[in-house]
Structure 1
Amino acid sequence: MTYQFTGKRPNISPDTGEPEYTGETKQLIDYLREKSGARTFDEALSVCAQGKGKLKVTIMNIKEDEGVVWVFDANKKPFWLPKSFLIKR
């Protein structure tokens, strides 16, 4: 994607194996990586659960200014869910 916008390929980080970013983007990615506890994108994906349709969840935390909610399913497994996926009953 970087190549399509800039016409050049990004440098690849020897630590994470992912593209290196600069400026605000680097700060944001570093912050999100630190907050998640994952060193790489692949590590983060390995702990993500595949979503299922019509899954009943309990909302644990919802913030008005964010597009996601913190929920847990019937197995008490917590995860983030986009607000747009909620069907209110």
Structure 2
Amino acid sequence: MSIFKKIIIGYSRLFIETSKNIINPIKISLFLIGILGLSIGIVYPLWFLASENPELYSKAVTIAIYTILVLFFIYRSYDIYIHI
């Protein structure tokens, strides 16, 4: 099974399990849209520049990882704020 199919199945199960609470699917959707938006807005141009200069690949990957981590921590802090 391809990794993309596993990701889609995992997120669909997550949506089904959290559909009882209206806020959770919205938060998950915003998190995924945020990752997609930042990856298109920040990481893709860096990756394009890295194709011309191979030394920039590590910087592009590092920024991609940091972007995902920052979004995840924002998502988790928002999740904690909702439950308090």
Structure with bigger RCO (C-alpha 8 Å, 6+ apart):
2
Larger Rg: 1
TM-score (norm 2): 0.29
TM-score (norm 1): 0.27
More helix by share: 2
More strand by share: 1
